[in-house]
């Protein structure tokens, strides 16, 4: 509960901080402090120290897993603000408002990591996405940003409609918003009847969640929105928001996957393969690094979906690790991307010579995204695939995923090639030494988790 | 502990070297570091108790940081340790842009290779397997030839795909081990049905076959050898291809005995096809680097065939030849590099008469060439003889067909010698001079090793005796 309350309060505080001071760096500083407080509050909640509790009549349920996941998300947001605070300030004149919106998004993610009913799921999703529509369009004078915002809004509301329809059907079948379905009573012939309302409702929920985490074939909004949004907010959207969406997806279907019977695995296999295929293959052909990252985020979603496919201990640990690895690498790489003016692949030519520190960090982040050993991304993928094999899932789906992982090397390494092996004179914004230190620290963290993933996972068991 | 030092020394010095600003200093530092590693390797081999190291690493995954050094590891660690000082000496006078990074990455490669040869835990092995590849990717792409980027990328994706397949195989076996562990011994005791073995066997084998490379997975190799900077090519063909052979011996044969028996004929035939095919292409080559590359494929093919013949004599030959081929081919690359630097071309049709200008090089070149043909009194003769006698015992016809490749090897190697150093003084050779002291030193060391091991190979054969016996018993 702490995180939900504090994030809402901090959002309001951020809004007013814009009135008190005009200095943008001061506003960023306030945001960092507020995030630290939020993180401390959430950690205190995890260990049962001074936590606020309100009787929500079981609408919210604070599990250790959810709280820990929320801590990861808040930490990621903190790293995001520390790294990209200066970029947030540059988007427009309303830095305080942007930070306020970011805190409201975090309020949404805090609900999503603790919901215990469909109503709260809906609230969480809405609280999380509505500020995002605004952030996407934050670059007011840029046509692309406006277009992306409108597109995101239209598609997002459409999928929300589908979700509401699904919730209504499930409510109709169960008579409650609870996540668990009461056991069906066999009819006179001894057959358990299939409730079409229930199955239909959950399929609609599945579709809308696929939309939110940009899984194929519901991914069409992703490239345009990620490409059009101000780069710094793309980093935020594609990491923290997406990870929260995945967590909600996981919790929603943990109890209900069996409802759909064997067709659940078939449906999910189709979505996973389609997501991996479309994400990876399309990313290969991109000319712009930013757009490539949009497709790569679709491809990464394909890997994260394996957690839904298996639902065992390894998958749970895996999704934690995946969230950490993916957030760190993506936020880090976007922090490099923000500094490069030309977002095409050629814009990176010769970056290694001009900015060796940035280029080195970018290599670490890209390798982590590609899943090369010694980086966090390797263990993220490792856990997902191990979970599939452990659950006795079909071995061929693992092989397919690995082939796509090999393909992903192609587009990630194209950036490395541009930076290190091609000569050019990249246009780079000014990079302060503090920025360099921060980004190198993040990349060292990625390597540290890649060597000892237990530094993330052990916390979960404490 | 001494086993850990074998990895840590090149790793730490490599990282230090990358951070240095003065290229010349980094070069001396790296040479010194590689010599220190050599001393450690010799100490490790001489140690009365087989060096080992074991520490908790990924506890909840069942993986430990375990290093073990048996005879086969000793042989390959020795090769790795010997190769780098020789390579560094031979390129001592070369100038590289950003030399500190170049030598640093070379040392990191050495650390990765040592790890591969020492790891006794499947996940650790996989880590080092990839770790060895990444510095090579940068080495080839930054300091390579004209088409370096595309060629290296092909090489990288090829091997990366292979190792991902291996990872899937490792995971599969891991969940079948009794104690859910990645330890080598657990892998050796795993019970897999024949059907499972024949699937997982190929996942591993493809990864190793790409690395070796054997026909038909070899297509990345000639291009990569041609485009890589010569010092890296020496590492690639001298030491790195042995990763594939070593991995087959360490991780494939003992884990999949049924599948090995089932598919050994297929693989022997593929290897022999590769030998003949690569030899025939080598005969037609005009580019000296490509010729050596194809000749290397042929030699690796023989070793791969000998491994799958699973005969004691043949295995002894393979272990010995892994070392011998390593240093011999490094010698050939040094010569090829010198020739290219002196004449400014790699086309043999434009060369000739180099012996008149560079007599010392000519003599050493002929020694290397004889070793490449495996003439008696050179080290390669012993290795190839053992392999052939083993193959002959298993299948006479295959041994006979494979034997043709010796004749073909003589054809292309002697042809190369003839075109390069004999004949009339070519236009390109007029301005050339004899080799410098550092190159002479490197080549003389190799030549001495060739002759010494050609006359008295017994100590080397004894070194790997335990591994060979172990492999035969496992069958």
ipTM of the complex: 0.89
Does A297 fall in a domain?
yes
Cβ neighbors of B35 (< 8 A, separation 6 or more) are B85
A422 contacts in B (CB within 8 Å)?
149
Is the Cβ–Cβ distance between B78 and B118 less than 8 Å?
no
Is the Cβ–Cβ distance between B104 and B18 less than 8 Å?
yes
CA dihedral A270, A150, A153, A274 (to 10 degrees): 10
Based on the domain organization, do B388 and B444 belong to the same domain? yes
Q: Given B138, B153, B160, which is nearest A420 (Cβ)?
A: B138
B138 contacts in A (CB within 8 Å)?
420
Does A423 fall in a domain?
yes
A with B: how many residue pairs have Cβ under 8 Å apart? 66
- pLDDT at position A18: 83
Q: With an 8 Å Cβ cutoff, is B65 touching chain A?
A: no
Based on the domain organization, do B344 and B249 belong to the same domain? no
3-state secondary structure of A215: coil
A284 contacts in B (CB within 8 Å)?
none
Token representation of residue B66 = 């375990």
- pLDDT at position A23: 84
Mind giving me the DSSP string for B405-457? HHHHHHHHHHHHHHHHHSSS--TTTTT--PPPHHHHHHHHHHHHHHHHHHH--
Instruction: Tell me which residue has tokens 């190198």.
Output: A440
Does A168 fall in a domain?
no
Å from A128 to nearest chain B CA?
A: 35
The C-alpha atoms of residue A233 and residue B444 are separated, in whole angstroms, by 62
Q: Which of B171, B177, B204, B228 to mutate to test the interface with A (most CBs of A within 10 A)?
A: B171
Å from B148 to nearest chain A CA?
A: 9
Q: Which of A303, A380, A402, A409 to mutate to test the interface with B (most CBs of B within 10 A)?
A: A402
- pLDDT at position A456: 82
* Number of domains chain A is built from: 1
Based on the domain organization, do B220 and B290 belong to the same domain? no
Based on the domain organization, do B240 and B307 belong to the same domain? no
Å from A452 to nearest chain B CA?
A: 7
The C-alpha atoms of residue B340 and residue B351 are separated, in whole angstroms, by 10
Å from B60 to nearest chain A CA?
A: 8
What's the length of chain A? 462
The C-alpha atoms of residue A232 and residue A220 are separated, in whole angstroms, by 21
- pLDDT at position B474: 60
- pLDDT at position A195: 78
3-state secondary structure of A424: coil
Instruction: Tell me which residue has tokens 């060796």.
Output: A356
Q: Which residue of A has its CA nearest to B134?
A: A372
User: Which range of residues forms the domain containing residue B374?
Assistant: 263-475
Based on the domain organization, do B73 and B193 belong to the same domain? yes
Q: Which residue of A has its CA nearest to B199?
A: A395
Q: With an 8 Å Cβ cutoff, is B125 touching chain A?
A: no
B142 contacts in A (CB within 8 Å)?
420-421
Q: Which of A380, A421, A424, A461 to mutate to test the interface with B (most CBs of B within 10 A)?
A: A421
Q: Which residue of B has its CA nearest to A352?
A: B142
The C-alpha atoms of residue A432 and residue A104 are separated, in whole angstroms, by 30
A382 contacts in B (CB within 8 Å)?
167, 171
Based on the domain organization, do B64 and B17 belong to the same domain? yes
Q: Which of A375, A395, A452 to mutate to test the interface with B (most CBs of B within 10 A)?
A: A395
Q: Would you list which residues of chain A are within 8 Å, Cβ to Cβ, of chain B? A: 367, 372-374, 382, 385-386, 389-390, 395, 398-399, 402-403, 405-406, 409-410, 413, 417, 420-422, 452-454, 457
Q: Which residue of B has its CA nearest to A413?
A: B153
Are A373 and B127 in contact (CB < 8 Å)?
yes
Å from B57 to nearest chain A CA?
A: 7
Are A402 and B164 in contact (CB < 8 Å)?
yes
B160 contacts in A (CB within 8 Å)?
406, 409
Torsions phi, psi for A214 (to 5 deg)? 50, 55
Q: Given B142, B161, B174, which is nearest A420 (Cβ)?
A: B142
Q: With an 8 Å Cβ cutoff, is B131 touching chain A?
A: yes
Distance of CA B108 to the CA centre of its chain: 16
- pLDDT at position A95: 86
Q: Given A367, A406, A422, which is nearest B164 (Cβ)?
A: A406
User: Which range of residues forms the domain containing residue A437?
Assistant: 274-462
The C-alpha atoms of residue A103 and residue B155 are separated, in whole angstroms, by 46
* Number of domains chain B is built from: 2
Q: With an 8 Å Cβ cutoff, is B206 touching chain A?
A: no
The per-residue pLDDT string of chain B (475 residues; one tens digit each, 9 = 90 and over) reads 888 888 999 999 999 988 888 878 888 899 999 999 999 999 888 888 888 888 888 877 888 898 988 888 888 999 999 999 999 998 888 888 888 889 999 999 999 999 999 999 999 999 999 999 999 999 988 888 888 888 888 888 888 889 999 999 998 899 888 888 888 888 888 888 888 888 899 999 999 999 888 888 888 888 888 888 888 999 998 899 999 999 998 888 888 888 888 898 899 999 999 999 999 999 998 888 899 999 999 999 999 999 888 888 888 889 899 999 999 999 999 988 888 888 888 888 888 778 788 888 888 989 999 999 888 888 889 889 999 998 888 888 888 888 888 899 999 999 888 888 887 777 776 777 778 888 888 889 999 999 998 888 888 888 888 777 777 766 5
Print burial letters for B400-434: b (CB count within 10 Å at least 16), e (below 16): ebbbebbebbbebbeebbebbbeeeebebbeebee
- pLDDT at position B475: 53
Are A410 and B160 in contact (CB < 8 Å)?
no
Mind giving me the DSSP string for A252-311? HHHTTGGGGTTHHHHHHHHHHHHHHHHHHHHHHT-SBHHHHHHHHHHHHHHHHTHHHHH-
Q: Given A389, A409, A417, which is nearest B149 (Cβ)?
A: A417
Q: Which of A373, A376, A460 to mutate to test the interface with B (most CBs of B within 10 A)?
A: A373
Based on the domain organization, do B169 and B271 belong to the same domain? no
Based on the domain organization, do B281 and B427 belong to the same domain? yes
Does A290 fall in a domain?
yes
B134 contacts in A (CB within 8 Å)?
367, 372
Are A417 and B153 in contact (CB < 8 Å)?
yes
DSSP bridge partners of A178: A117
3-state secondary structure of B167: helix
- pLDDT at position A69: 92
Mind giving me the DSSP string for B206-223? HHHHHHTT-TTS-THHHH
Based on the domain organization, do B159 and B306 belong to the same domain? no
Would you give the DSSP letter of residue B48? S
- Please identify, among B208, B234, B255, the residue that sits at the C-terminal boundary of a domain: B255
Is the Cβ–Cβ distance between B325 and B302 less than 8 Å?
no
The C-alpha atoms of residue B392 and residue B406 are separated, in whole angstroms, by 14
Are A405 and B157 in contact (CB < 8 Å)?
no
The three-state (H, E, C) secondary structure of A151-173, written as one string = HHHHHHHHHHHHHHHHHHHHHHH
Residues of chain A with pLDDT under 50: none
- pLDDT at position A109: 94
Does A372 fall in a domain?
yes
- Please identify, among B255, B271, B296, the residue that sits at the C-terminal boundary of a domain: B255
Q: Given A367, A373, A402, which is nearest B168 (Cβ)?
A: A402
Does A36 fall in a domain?
no
- Please identify, among B208, B223, B255, the residue that sits at the C-terminal boundary of a domain: B255
Based on the domain organization, do B368 and B472 belong to the same domain? yes
């Amino acid at each position: 509960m702490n995180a939900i309350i504090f994030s809402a309060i901090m959002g309001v505080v951020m809004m007013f901080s814009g009135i008190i001071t005009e200095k943008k760096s001061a506003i960023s500083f306030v945001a960092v402090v507020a995030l630290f407080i939020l993180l401390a509050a959430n950690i205190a909640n995890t260990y049962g120290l001074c936590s606020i509790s309100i009787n929500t009549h079981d609408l919210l349920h604070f599990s250790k897993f959810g709280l820990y996941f929320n801590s990861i998300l808040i930490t990621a947001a903190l790293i995001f603000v520390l790294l990209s605070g200066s970029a947030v300030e540059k988007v427009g004149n309303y830095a305080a408002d942007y930070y306020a919106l970011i805190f409201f998004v975090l309020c949404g993610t805090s609900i999503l990591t603790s919901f215990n009913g469909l109503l709260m799921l809906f609230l969480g999703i809405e609280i999380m996405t509505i500020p995002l529509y605004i952030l996407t369009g934050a670059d007011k004078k840029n046509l692309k940003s406006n277009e992306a915002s409108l597109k995101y809004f239209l598609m997002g509301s459409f999928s929300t409609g589908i979700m509401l329809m699904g919730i209504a059907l499930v409510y109709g079948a169960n008579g409650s918003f609870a996540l668990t379905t009461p056991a069906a009573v066999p009819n006179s012939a001894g057959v358990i009847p299939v409730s079409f309302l229930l199955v239909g409702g959950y399929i609609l929920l599945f579709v809308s969640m696929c939309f939110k985490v940009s899984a194929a074939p519901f991914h069409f909004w992703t490239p345009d929105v990620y490409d059009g949004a101000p780069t710094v907010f793309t980093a935020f959207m594609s990491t923290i928001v997406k990870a929260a969406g995945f967590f909600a997806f996981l919790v929603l279907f943990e109890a209900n996957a069996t409802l759909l019977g064997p067709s659940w695995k078939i449906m999910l296999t189709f979505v996973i393969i389609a997501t991996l295929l479309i994400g990876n293959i399309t990313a290969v052909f991109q000319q712009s690094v930013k757009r490539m990252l949009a497709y790569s985020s679709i491809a990464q979603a394909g890997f994260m979906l394996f957690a839904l496919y298996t639902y065992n201990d390894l998958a749970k640990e895996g999704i934690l690790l995946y969230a950490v690895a993916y957030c760190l690498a993506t936020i880090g790489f976007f922090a490099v991307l923000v500094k490069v003016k030309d977002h095409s692949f050629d814009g990176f030519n010769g970056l290694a010579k001009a900015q060796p520190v940035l280029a080195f960090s970018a290599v670490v982040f890209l390798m982590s995204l590609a899943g090369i050993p010694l980086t966090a991304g390797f263990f993220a993928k490792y856990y997902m695939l191990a979970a599939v094999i452990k659950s006795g899932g079909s071995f061929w789906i693992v092989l397919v995923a690995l082939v796509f992982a090999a393909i992903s090397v192609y587009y990630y390494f194209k950036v490395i090639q541009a930076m290190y092996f091609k000569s050019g004179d990249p246009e780079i914004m000014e990079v302060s030494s503090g920025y360099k230190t921060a980004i190198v620290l993040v990349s060292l963290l990625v390597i540290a988790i890649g060597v000892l993933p237990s530094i993330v996972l052990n916390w979960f068991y404490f | 502990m001494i086993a850990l030092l074998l990895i840590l020394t090149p790793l730490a010095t490599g990282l230090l070297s990358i951070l240095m600003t003065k290229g010349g200093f980094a070069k001396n530092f790296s040479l010194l570091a590689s010599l220190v590693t050599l001393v450690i390797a010799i100490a490790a081999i001489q140690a009365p108790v087989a060096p080992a190291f074991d520490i908790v690493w990924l506890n909840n995954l069942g993986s430990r940081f375990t290093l073990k050094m048996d005879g086969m590891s000793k042989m390959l660690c020795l090769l790795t340790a010997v190769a780098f000082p020789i390579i560094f000496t031979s390129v001592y006078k070369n100038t590289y842009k950003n030399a500190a990074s170049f030598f640093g990455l070379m040392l990191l490669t050495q650390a990765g290779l040592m790890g591969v040869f020492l790891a006794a835990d499947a996940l650790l092995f996989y880590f080092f397997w990839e770790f060895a590849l990444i510095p090579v990717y940068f080495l080839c792409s930054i300091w390579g030839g004209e088409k370096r980027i595309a060629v290296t990328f092909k090489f990288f994706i090829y091997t990366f795909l292979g190792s991902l397949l291996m990872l899937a195989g490792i995971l599969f076996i891991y969940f079948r081990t009794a104690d859910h562990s990645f330890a080598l011994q657990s892998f050796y005791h795993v019970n897999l049905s024949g059907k499972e073995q024949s699937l997982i066997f190929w996942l591993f084998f493809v990864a190793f076959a790409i690395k070796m490379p054997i026909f038909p997975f070899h297509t990345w190799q000639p291009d990569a050898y041609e485009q890589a900077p010569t010092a890296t090519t020496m590492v690639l063909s001298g030491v790195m291809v042995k990763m594939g052979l070593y991995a087959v011996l360490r991780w494939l044969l003992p884990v999949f005995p049924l599948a090995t028996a089932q598919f050994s004929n297929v693989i022997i035939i593929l290897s022999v096809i590769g030998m003949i095919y690569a030899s025939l292409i080598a005969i037609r080559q005009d580019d000296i680097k490509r010729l050596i590359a194809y000749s290397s494929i042929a030699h690796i093919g023989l070793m791969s065939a000998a491994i799958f013949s699973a005969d004691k004599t043949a295995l002894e030959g393979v272990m010995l030849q892994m070392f011998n081929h390593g240093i011999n081919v490094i010698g050939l690359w040094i010569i090829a590099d010198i020739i290219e630097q002196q004449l400014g071309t790699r086309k043999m049709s434009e060369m000739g008469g180099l012996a008149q200008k560079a007599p010392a090089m000519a003599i050493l070149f002929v020694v290397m060439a004889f070793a490449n043909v495996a003439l008696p009194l050179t080290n390669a003769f012993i290795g190839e003889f053992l392999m052939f006698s083993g193959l002959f015992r298993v299948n006479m016809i295959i041994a006979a067909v494979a034997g043709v490749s010796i004749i073909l090897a003589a054809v292309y190697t002697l042809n190369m010698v003839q075109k390069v150093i004999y004949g009339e003084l070519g236009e390109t050779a007029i301005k050339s001079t004899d080799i410098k002291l550092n190159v002479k030193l490197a080549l003389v060391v190799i030549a001495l090793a060739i002759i010494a091991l050609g006359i008295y190979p017994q100590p080397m054969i004894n070194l790997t005796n335990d591994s060979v016996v172990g492999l035969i018993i496992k069958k």
